[in-house]
Amino acid sequence: ERGGFEHFMMKEIHEQPTAIKNTINSLVTNGKVDLSKFEMDEETIKSISAITIVACGSAWHVGMAAQYVIEDIAGIPVRVELASEFRYRGPLLSENHLVIVVSQSGETADTLAALREAKERGVKTLAIVNVVGSSIAREADYVIYTVAGPEISVATTKAYSCQLVVTYLLALEFAAVRGKIEKDLYDKYMAEISRIPECIQKILDDKERLQWFAAKIANSKDIFFIGRGIDYAIGLEGSLKMKEISYIHSEAYAAGELKHGTISLIENGTLVIGLLCQDNLYEKTISNMVECKSRGAYLMGLAPYGRYEIEDTADFVTYVPKMDKHFVGSLEVVPLQLLGYYVSVARGLDVDKPRNLAKSVTVE
Ligand code: F6R
């Protein structure tokens, strides 16, 4: 049942190329997002004045990355909120607000309650859900299904990746309907999105070095993931993967924020993972890595192929294929999933069923 893999998590990591392909195919026809698939009409899309993305855990991390993509490509202001906060905050929502909830299970109590709160306030709701017929799928005004297939491992991988890709397609289509994108650029972005599965496959084919590195860092006390923009959003997910299955304390920081307090935690040998896939932010994050190094940090870098100069700064480097900055996060997250997995295995832990956690959190 684990398809030759030792754990469901590894199986599901390897299913990502297919899961993403299936998700894209379910929403795209002849190189264009097919709106009829989720029944939102063009008038509604044109009327959206703001988007709030609401979710928990990894699904919230999808929102954290998606906000950059949707704002940049579709020009719609996006706010991202934890469902457990949103539901009690009395959020201000305008009439033309769209609330997007993201959930693998479709049963997460806080996310469901947030959805109900939004509906009560009379705004439109769109759910990105993996489980067909789940509560969230049934109650939202519009539903887009991820086609990840059943996810067994408590730590999400393929559902997260499919959710992220759905947000890219939404950004593209919202941009197109609202006249915010030229056809050439739309086609170029679509071509990039279509490359994601094969690029992830390349990362998976090259995973042994990460296993080696994981063994080396398996006794770390703390791990810091630092990056800016989408790199930061991916760092949040990498950090959660690490802590939930390896039980190593880890944090993700917007790299520029480190010096406002957290850098005092960096000492000799502390592992700092610098995420360097946003080209325009590369130098900035490198300089934060150098600051950590001068305080004794041990540095891992994650960058696109071609950025070989990073080897002058980082002690260990992993590369991912080059891709447009909006979508590269889909590649960048994969080595971090693998790293969390390998560290958990190296520590002899129960990868698929980490302590204190359930696959679906149906109580608040
Ligand atoms: C982490 C993880 C959780 C879920 C969160 C939301 O690996 O799986 O953080 O992402 O509990 O669950 P869903 O997506 O089912 O609403």
pLDDT at res. 31: 95
Taking residue 75's Cβ as centre, other Cβ atoms within 10 Å add up to: 14
- Concerning whether 259 is annotated as a catalytic residue, the answer is no
In this prediction, residues 272-291 reach a mean pLDDT of 98
The set of residues, in sequence order, having a beta carbon less than 8 Å from that of 272 and lying 6+ positions away, is 223, 224, 226, 266, 289, 292, 293, 297, 298, 299, 300
Determine contact, residues 345/244, Cβ cutoff 8 Å.
no
Determine contact, residues 276/302, Cβ cutoff 8 Å.
yes
Nearest CA, atom 5, ligand 1: 57
State how far the Cα of 104 lies from the Cα of 159, in Å rounded to an integer.
6
Output b/e per residue, 114-134; b: 16+ Cβ within 10 A: bbebbeebebbbbbbbbbeeb
**Cα of 261 from ligand 1 centre, angstroms:** 29
Q: For a substitution probing ligand 1, which of 64, 84, 156, 363 has the most ligand atoms within 8 Å of its CB? A: 156
How sure is the predictor about 360, in pLDDT bands with cuts at 50, 70 and 90?
Answer: confident
**Cα of 91 from ligand 1 centre, angstroms:** 23
Q: Percent of the chain, pLDDT > 90?
A: 95
**Cα of 138 from ligand 1 centre, angstroms:** 19
260 pLDDT above the threshold of 90: yes
64 pLDDT above the threshold of 90: yes
pLDDT at res. 37: 79
38 pLDDT above the threshold of 80: no
pLDDT at res. 127: 98
Mean pLDDT of the chain: 96
21 pLDDT above the threshold of 80: yes
28 pLDDT above the threshold of 90: yes
In this prediction, residues 298-323 reach a mean pLDDT of 98
pLDDT at res. 336: 98
pLDDT at res. 215: 97
Q: For a substitution probing ligand 1, which of 105, 134, 246 has the most ligand atoms within 8 Å of its CB? A: 105
How sure is the predictor about 339, in pLDDT bands with cuts at 50, 70 and 90?
Answer: very high
Instruction: Say yes or no: ipTM exceeds 0.90.
Output: yes
pLDDT at res. 99: 98
Residues flanking ligand 1, CB < 6 Å? 56-59, 103-105, 108, 111, 155-156, 240, 244, 360-361
pLDDT at res. 284: 98
- Backbone dihedral region for residue 363 (phi beyond 0: left; psi -120 to 50: alpha; all else: beta): beta
Q: Percent of the chain, pLDDT > 70?
A: 100
In terms of pLDDT, which residue wins out, 358 or 47? 47
